[in-house]
Amino acid sequence: MMQFGIFTVGDVTTDPTTGRTPTEHERIKATVAIARKAEEVGLDVFATGEHHNPPFAAPANPTVLLANIAAQTERIILSTATTLITTNDPVRLAEDYAYLQHLAEGRVDLMMGRGNTGPVYPWFGRDIRDGIPLAIENYALLRRLWTEEAVTWSGKHRTPLQGFTSTPRPLDGVPPFVWHGSIRSPEIAEQAAYYGDGFFHNNIFWPMSHTKQMVQLYRRRFEHYGHGGADQAIVGLGGQVFMRRNSQDAVREFRPFFDVAPVYGHGPSLEDFTRETPLTVGSPQQVIERYAAMADEVGDYQRQLFLIDHAGLPLSTVMEQLELLGGEVVPELRRIADARRPAHVPDAPTHASRVAAAGGGRDMTVHAVDEVTGASPEVAR
């Protein structure tokens, strides 16, 4: 089944219609409420961004927020949009996301990104010119930390490791599924293809022609690296919608938020922006028509995430958007997607499907002393 969900950047933005700005505390609690509501209305995925600067109340370490949500939900998959693979220590990523997997009973995957805030690199002692090399080296190490019990490693960008064991070990011996998000860098599409990981194109600020080019590159290279046919690659897209029963009401209500929104405010008109990007402002039926057609451009894909809580929209409005999304739009989009998708195109991997593919789950707990030899784990291997 195709997955539908929401992703948030956690912006703390003034509501332009009231002049009121939420506190960080309000925004953080609202984010949790939004995630719970997403599950309640039947969505499959909640993903949070990672931020290190105002005006964002997205967590600096998404696992903190996701663990809290995991404790209050039963079914929804918790993910990121994105986890910074460039400025985070891959050892901490291996540890934190494996721990989250245990807390969330496997309802976890994550999306790697390089980040779009330049100063984050120097804040964490990195150089933005190393963005791509950091993404490549750090991820290569992260994979080893999840799959190998004792890692001896050296690279350019972090302290070497000797017989290091990242704990806890991934739940059931299966690391979380990884998506790689990139808007403009062919190297990242290439990376996702090489590993047979997912590729997510956050196309919300981009024309479809560009999205298509990136996805086609990823699909072609996925096949080249022997993971299956190009149409079997695992693709996710971003989206952005605002809905009211009557499309004129949607436009009237959303325009003041659009006009001054962070990122694109004061720029193209709402009409231009909706024509050139996936932003759809209108009735649920209009959203269904627009998003059902995305697969015509990029092929049958596995995950669609919507941005619905930014630009200062009040929590009550976001909740109404979720009702429409979960109540009317997603069931219809899911039906259309599942009807058109050929049988050989896979679903997005989940923890359960990955455990099954691995031939069942295995507990990988590393004990302080090996029961047989009495040696420490790095020597016992």
Partner 1 sequence: MTRRIVVVSAGLGQPSSTRLLGDLLATATTDALLESGMEAQVEVVELRELAHDLTNTLLAGFPTGGVGRALETLAGADAVVAVTPVYQGSYSGLFKTFFDVVERDVLRGTPVLLAATGGTARHSLVLEYALRPLFTHLGAVTVGTGVFAASEDWGSAGEAEQGLTARVRRAGTELAALAGARASSGPRDPFADPVPFEELLSGM
Considering the rule CB under 8 A, would residue 145 count as an interface residue with partner 1? Answer: no
CA 330 to centroid of chain Cα atoms: 18
Q: How far is the CB of 106 from partner 1 (least distance, A)?
A: 28
Nearer to partner 1 (CB atom), residue 4 or residue 273: 273
Pick the piece of the chain touching partner 1 (CB under 8 A) from 89-97, 165-173, 188-196, 305-313.
188-196
How many of the chain's residues bind partner 1 (CB under 8 A)?
A: 35
Nearer to partner 1 (CB atom), residue 265 or residue 314: 265
Considering the rule CB under 8 A, would residue 177 count as an interface residue with partner 1? Answer: no
Pick the piece of the chain touching partner 1 (CB under 8 A) from 269-277, 284-292, 294-302, 338-346.
269-277
| Window 104 to 143, contacts with partner 1 (CB under 8 A) | 132-133, 136-137, 140
Considering the rule CB under 8 A, would residue 191 count as an interface residue with partner 1? Answer: yes
Nearer to partner 1 (CB atom), residue 275 or residue 381: 275
**Rounded to a whole number, what is the distance in angstroms from the first to the last CA of the chain?**
40
The DSSP H or E segment spanning 235 is strand 235-243
- What is the Cα gyration radius of the chain? 21
User: By the 8 A CB rule, do 312 and 14 touch?
Assistant: yes
Question: Distance between CA atoms of 193 and 187, rounded to whole angstroms?
Answer: 10
User: By the 8 A CB rule, do 120 and 60 touch?
Assistant: no
Q: How far is the CB of 84 from partner 1 (least distance, A)?
A: 18
Question: Distance between CA atoms of 262 and 288, rounded to whole angstroms?
Answer: 26
Considering the rule CB under 8 A, would residue 267 count as an interface residue with partner 1? Answer: yes
Considering the rule CB under 8 A, would residue 206 count as an interface residue with partner 1? Answer: yes
Q: How far is the CB of 205 from partner 1 (least distance, A)?
A: 6
Question: Distance between CA atoms of 260 and 248, rounded to whole angstroms?
Answer: 19
User: By the 8 A CB rule, do 305 and 236 touch?
Assistant: yes
Nearer to partner 1 (CB atom), residue 59 or residue 198: 198
Nearer to partner 1 (CB atom), residue 310 or residue 351: 310
With CB under 8 A as the contact rule, the residue among 16, 194, 253, 292 that binds partner 1 is: 194
Q: Cis before residue 82, ω within 30 degrees of 0?
A: yes
Element counts in the chain: helices (H) and strands (E): 15, 12
Could you give the angle at the alpha carbon of 96 between the alpha carbons of 225 and 102, nearest 5°?
90
Considering the rule CB under 8 A, would residue 16 count as an interface residue with partner 1? Answer: no
Q: How far is CA 154 from CA 162, 194, 266, in A?
A: 9, 21, 47
With CB under 8 A as the contact rule, the residue among 273, 291, 301, 306 that binds partner 1 is: 273
Q: How far is the CB of 187 from partner 1 (least distance, A)?
A: 6
Considering the rule CB under 8 A, would residue 197 count as an interface residue with partner 1? Answer: no
| Window 311 to 370, contacts with partner 1 (CB under 8 A) | none
User: By the 8 A CB rule, do 250 and 244 touch?
Assistant: yes
| Torsion of the alpha carbons at 246, 248, 250 and 253, rounded to the nearest 10 | -130
With CB under 8 A as the contact rule, the residue among 55, 163, 168, 265 that binds partner 1 is: 265
Q: How far is the CB of 155 from partner 1 (least distance, A)?
A: 6
User: By the 8 A CB rule, do 147 and 175 touch?
Assistant: yes
Footprint of partner 1 (CB under 8 A): 132-133, 136-137, 140, 155-156, 186-187, 189-191, 193-194, 205-207, 209-210, 213-214, 216-217, 221, 225, 263-268, 272-273, 276-277
